[in-house]
Amino acid sequence: MPKKKEPPSRALIPEIIPPRKELAFTQPAAEALSGFLSGNTKRAYERDLKDFFEVENLEMIPMARITSITPRDVVAFRDKLLADKKKPSTVQRKLSAIRSLYNYLMAAGGVTINPAHPKLVRAPKKSSVQKTDIVSWDDAVKMLKGVDRSTRLGRRDYLLILLGFNLGTRCSELLGAQLEDIKHGPEGWYVHVRGKGEKDRFIFLRPDIKEALDVYLLDRGDAPGPLFPGRKAELDGSRYWRIVKFYAEKVGLKGIHPHSLRAAFITLAHQQGVPVGNIQKTVGHARGETTLGYVRDLEMIKSSATKALKGLSAD
């Protein structure tokens, strides 16, 4: 006897169920973002949720509105963003903000499905090749020379920008560095960088960089802790962003931010003949393709990534 056909599964066609009556969400969207996100991520997610729900204040979103959202609403939002020429990375972040809200509510028993789940709403693919504004060698030197090193803050800012251009670290890696990460080995001074996925890297410090570091440490002191202390712990990322922007605009450069310094390191090291594989290890890229995205000429000549940039300073 032929097998009876089963009706198509409705597993991925969810039905929004109202929250349990005993659960009280006074300001669900605002509550969802409190306490578990970093400051920068929280601010970005707040903007994204306001954009999605079309409100000026997260406290204005009632629970009934939240539970009425379906995957179709999220798909329509995604498609509108793409039609408005928003970058895939921006669309991904906004979808992530929506998912975070519903993950929080699901964990608390407020809703039964996440309408922004990746299986329900496919995010646009983000290129593995990152594009950013590149700083030329001459412009990098101009930025460094534009720092007034006669002041305490100037000496700190100079070292921040010098390391950004010459080590190729991520913003979080540079600001997260501790004084005890500066070490001396058989080949000289180096910095122990703790990168993504707990992957350690050891980056050589040229004598001119070590000299700038020593001058800065006269101001900072030798107490253990963040290499660049901030108000609470390490220097805040938004503060570092403003520092880089200030010195870039001082010499007429627009659209420059901390990641531009990392991109400049990759590009300039390659122009000096450093093999892409060497650069990849220095900056901590998991894939060579990512590093290749920063460079134009693909010729490879043996050299050392950090030593190759000798002269990239204000002296």
**Range of weakest confidence among 97-101, 134-138, 213-217, 291-295:** 291-295
Q: What digits encode the pLDDT tens for the residues 50-68?
A: 999 998 888 888 888 988 9
Residue 247 confidence (pLDDT): 96
- The count of C-alpha atoms lying within 13 angstroms of the C-alpha of 106, restricted to the half-sphere facing its C-beta, is 13
Is residue 207 very low, low, confident or very high in pLDDT (cuts 50, 70, 90)?
very high
Residue 301 confidence (pLDDT): 32
**pLDDT surpassing 50 at residue 154:** yes
| More confident: 110 or 32 | 110
Task: Give backbone dihedrals phi and psi of 302, rounded to 5 degrees, phi first.
Answer: -60, 135
Residue 261 confidence (pLDDT): 92
Residue 200 confidence (pLDDT): 82
Other residues' Cβ atoms within 10 Å of the Cβ of residue 113: 17
- For the chain, which residues make up each domain, given as ranges? 12-126, 137-309
Residue 179 confidence (pLDDT): 95
Residue 85 confidence (pLDDT): 85
How far apart, in Å, are the Cα atoms of 229 and each of 191, 215, 237?
17, 16, 12
**pLDDT surpassing 60 at residue 15:** no
Asked if 132 contacts 263 with a C-beta cutoff of 8 angstroms, the reply is yes
Residue 110 confidence (pLDDT): 82
How far apart, in Å, are the Cα atoms of 116 and each of 131, 161, 180?
27, 40, 43
Residue 183 confidence (pLDDT): 92
Q: What digits encode the pLDDT tens for the residues 260-284?
A: 998 888 888 888 888 888 888 888 8
With a CB cutoff of 8 Å and minimum separation 6, the contacts of 242 are none
- Mean confidence (pLDDT) of the chain: 81
Give the residue-averaged pLDDT of 146-154: 96
**What is residue 60's DSSP assignment?**
G
Q: What is the 3-state secondary structure (H, E, C) of 132-200?
A: CCCCCHHHHHHHHHCCCCCCHHHHHHHHHHHHHHHHCCCHHHHHCCEHHHEEEECCEEEEEEECHHHCE
Is residue 12 very low, low, confident or very high in pLDDT (cuts 50, 70, 90)?
very low
**Range of weakest confidence among 24-28, 186-190, 214-218, 233-237:** 24-28
Instruction: Strands of 62-121 (E only): list them.
Output: none
d(CA 259, CA 171): 7
Give the residue-averaged pLDDT of 153-157: 96
**pLDDT surpassing 50 at residue 20:** no
Asked if 247 contacts 146 with a C-beta cutoff of 8 angstroms, the reply is yes
Q: What digits encode the pLDDT tens for the residues 107-127?
A: 888 888 999 999 999 988 765
Give the residue-averaged pLDDT of 158-167: 94
Residue 208 confidence (pLDDT): 94
With a CB cutoff of 8 Å and minimum separation 6, the contacts of 217 are 179
Asked if 167 contacts 279 with a C-beta cutoff of 8 angstroms, the reply is no
d(CA 158, CA 148): 8
Residue 300 confidence (pLDDT): 34
In terms of C-beta distances under 8 Å and separation of at least 24 residues, what long-range contacts does 26-30 make, across chains too?
27/58, 27/59, 27/61, 28/61, 28/63, 28/66, 28/101, 28/105, 28/110, 29/53, 29/58, 29/59, 29/61, 29/66, 29/101, 30/58, 30/59
CA end-to-end distance (rounded Å), the chain = 88
Residue 218 confidence (pLDDT): 96
**pLDDT surpassing 60 at residue 10:** no
Coil, strand or helix at 241: helix
Q: Which architecture does CATH list for 137-309?
A: Orthogonal Bundle (1.10)
Residue 129 confidence (pLDDT): 44
Domain 12-126 sits in CATH 3.90.930: no
